[in-house]
Amino acid sequence: MVNLNLNEKKAILHWTSPSSNKLYRGIKKASQNKYLGTKYEIDMNSLNDFNAIEQMFSKQEDNTSSIDIIYRADIIENDSNILLSDEEVFNAFHSKLRINETFELEDIICSFSSNKDTALRTAKLNDKYISESTPVVLFILKKRLSKYLYIAPYSNVEDEEEVMCFGKKMFKVMSIKNELHYVEVIIEEVQNII
């Protein structure tokens, strides 16, 4: 990435701030207010950071062509109205995914890593991660259609090898494999929705 302005650099630092600060949550809420019509209350700093990230994506060229595969590990949350064990949450999530079917990631701004182990390690830093039994999904993105930016040189946590994308995206499930402490889902991007 070239010629980032001060606001864009600051927004990346806030997006990648340590988990205890959770500044990225305000930026996510600002993106959801604009693109999903939510009505979250957000502070001016979060709105400015979101605007800077949006501007950065409008002017920067994709700088990830040398990165073949990127990874995103997420905690699988219980989205039912009943209390489920970690294993039941994992099984419910797993039953929603079907090979050759599509799904959307919910976030407007998403972070991936160019390193599989780093993505898995980062998931364990999430405040929702309790123990080895916490259900985790590792998305392995093998085909990208839209713009992705490698932001590690500007990040608070350079060793995360972070790759950021912007906009709602549709992905196709290519394969699903159960690993010891997570489910591995190989995906391909099939459409940029927003």
CATH code at 73? 3.90.176.10
Across the chain, mean pLDDT equals 89
Query: Quick one: tokens of 111?
Result: 């972070």
Asked whether residue 112 is assigned to any structural domain, the reply reads: yes
β-strand 183-192 against 136-143: which pairing, if any? parallel
Q: What is the pLDDT of residue 134?
A: 79
Strands in 23-146 per DSSP E: 70-75, 102-104, 109-113, 136-143
Q: Which of 128, 126, 123 is nearest to 179 (CA)?
A: 123
Asked whether residue 56 is assigned to any structural domain, the reply reads: yes
Mean per-residue pLDDT for 3-19? 92
pLDDT at 10 exceeding the cut of 70: yes
Asked whether residue 125 is assigned to any structural domain, the reply reads: yes
Which residue range forms the structural domain that includes residue 96? 6-192
More confident residue, 129 or 46: 46
Asked whether residue 1 is assigned to any structural domain, the reply reads: no
Cβ atoms 12, 171 nearer than 8 A: no
Q: What is the pTM of this model?
A: 0.90
More confident residue, 158 or 129: 129
Q: Is 166 helix (H, G, I), strand (E, B) or coil?
A: strand
Q: What is the pLDDT of residues 105-147, one digit of tens each?
A: 888 999 999 999 999 988 887 777 777 777 888 999 999 999 9
pLDDT above 70: percentage of residues in the chain = 96
Q: What is the pLDDT of residue 19?
A: 65
Cβ atoms 164, 151 nearer than 8 A: yes
Q: What is the pLDDT of residues 65-80, one digit of tens each?
A: 999 999 999 887 776 6
Considering its fold, how many domains does the chain have in total? Answer: 1
Q: Tell me the angle at which helices 6-15 and 23-36 cross, rounded to the nearest 10 degrees.
A: 110
